[in-house]
Structure 1
């Protein structure tokens, strides 16, 4: 069990070791418009190791902070700001997750590249938003470059590479 000072130590280590922003630039697209494979940057793998985040660790996320608790929601292709509803390892609720939305395929794809805990510095991560039973599938009335989803929240899961 982590003591109250343990997360502070993790964040202090990360503050000294990691700065800057990891982006999703240069990701190739599949024929259906969904993003292709992408390696998790080495600095994100190191940060997640320091935080004790492993592949498959998960939590809950409000997909778009501007549409919290709405139904349905519209996501736009490009950058996204989400918020943790539940802890993800040492990352507390209200931690912001920054990533990118791809809306070109039959399902929306959301990849997260940064976490910004309250009152802390940004941390590079690799995580994805997921829902079971095809619930990340876009509604038929979604226009190009958008994804209309029934739910505003999803699961978020740590990965070591985007597939």
Structure 2
């Protein structure tokens, strides 16, 4: 039989490890059209972005899905790994950006919560969004529920201080 002391100890370790996660705990409230609602940028992300000289409005180009290169690409609701095509502040290309995709609205919405420099080191918390500038994230009509078929493999990514 497992002792309650061991169970409490294991739970404590698990909770402490989860406390360092930078992705939104508990999810994000959705708008009536299924797109994500407002979300604050974490204090850790704000500090990290300041150190890396990632100021609101800084922008770069990303490969939307580091695992797909042929067009069109299909994005799925849930986690995504994108790749910087040019430098973003002190983040050198081809650093990876990790975030989440929502596909319920007329275009895909991508929010980034972490960056992984390719020269090593820990993941860095940040707040950034992929923007539709030239229609890159507009869904094609054949997109099934929970997916967004988009024509472009790249998009602009912008640093933000909050998700709106």
TM-score norm. by structure 2 comes to: 0.84
What is the match of residue 80 of structure 2?
A: 80
Could you tell which deviates more after superposition, 87-96 or 23-32? Answer: 23-32
Rounded to whole Å, the distance in 1 between the matches of 2:98 and 2:134 is 25
Cα deviation, residue 126, structure 1 = 0.1
TM-score norm. by structure 1 comes to: 0.85
What is the match of residue 135 of structure 2?
A: 134
Please list the CA deviations of residues 101-131 of structure 1 after superposition, one character each: whole Å capped at 9, or x if unmatched.
0001111000000000011210000000113
Quick check: 1:21–1:114 contact (8 Å CA) kept in 2?
no
* Partner SS for 2:138: coil
What is the match of residue 41 of structure 1?
A: 42
What is the match of residue 54 of structure 1?
A: 55
Count of paired positions: 144
What is the match of residue 110 of structure 1?
A: 110
Q: CA RMSD in A?
A: 1.2
Rounded to whole Å, the distance in 1 between the matches of 2:77 and 2:51 is 31
Which has more radius of gyration?
Answer: 2
Rounded to whole Å, the distance in 2 between the matches of 1:131 and 1:33 is 17
